[in-house]
Amino acid sequence: MSVSDVILNRRSIRKFEQKPVEEEKLFLIREAGRLSPSASNKQNWKFVLVTEKGLLVDLAEACNSQMFVAEAPAAIVVCATGDRSMGCGQSAATVDCSIAMASMMIQATELGLGTCWLGSFNPTAVKLVLDLPESYIVVAVSPLGYPAEAPAARPRKTSAEVWLER
């Protein structure tokens, strides 16, 4: 599958087969995150792979009771280990961790797996569930597994609506 195919076919998945994800695929997804670009190559991140069922249930609760997280065989949590403003004024933590999560989601899609970017979660509760240091900044959470649904593509704005020509 080409990168274009992956981008065209990626969907937010909220229903998962009860089938574990193979270690080889988990390795490739982990590498996609690890090899992602970061501001000044600081790599100020930690990635958490959650596969233990009890933790997935607790994580789902920490994600504002989005219980489909607990139905997935795994979840990825991306945290920043520090933050600073880049020269453009943006948070390096948010940007770097978002790039890494996007890379892992694209890799997962290419491997036939489903993900769903969650921005609705209680970061303090996520840290407590996963026993993470207080200093970590939880940036994103995604369930991970084999899709048990094939949602249609959601509407997108046209190129003319989102691109400015100068």
Q: The domain that contains 12 carries what CATH number? A: 3.40.109.10
Report pTM. 0.96
Q: What value, to the nearest 5°, has the Cα angle with vertex 8 and ends 31 and 157? A: 120
In the predicted structure, residue 60 carries a pLDDT above the cut 90: yes
| Residue 156 belongs to some domain of the structure | no
Tokens at 159, concatenated:
């190129």
CA-CA-CA-CA torsion sign (77, 37, 83, 98):
negative
Is the pLDDT score of 1 beyond 90? no
- The tens digit of pLDDT for each residue in 31-58 reads 999 999 999 999 999 999 999 999 999 9
Residue 44: name the closest of 29, 58, 34, 59 by CA: 34
Q: Is residue 163 part of a domain?
A: no
Query: Does residue 160 fall inside a structural domain?
Result: no
The per-residue pLDDT for range 62-115, each reduced to its tens digit, is 999 999 999 999 999 999 999 999 999 999 999 999 999 999 999 999 999 999
Provide the β-strand partners of residue 143: 75
Confidence of residue 120 (pLDDT cuts 50, 70, 90): very high
User: CA 32 → CA 88, 129, 147, distances in Å?
Assistant: 25, 25, 20
Q: Is residue 158 part of a domain?
A: no
165 lies in some domain? no
Containing structural domain, residue 126: 3-150
What's the domain count of the chain?
A: 1
Burial of 22 per CB tally in 10 Å (0-12, 13-18, 19+): exposed
157 belongs to a structural domain: no
Dist. CA 39–CA 9, nearest whole Å: 29
> Residues 125-147: pLDDT tens digits?
999 999 999 999 999 999 999 99
As a whole number, mean pLDDT of residues 27-34 equals: 98
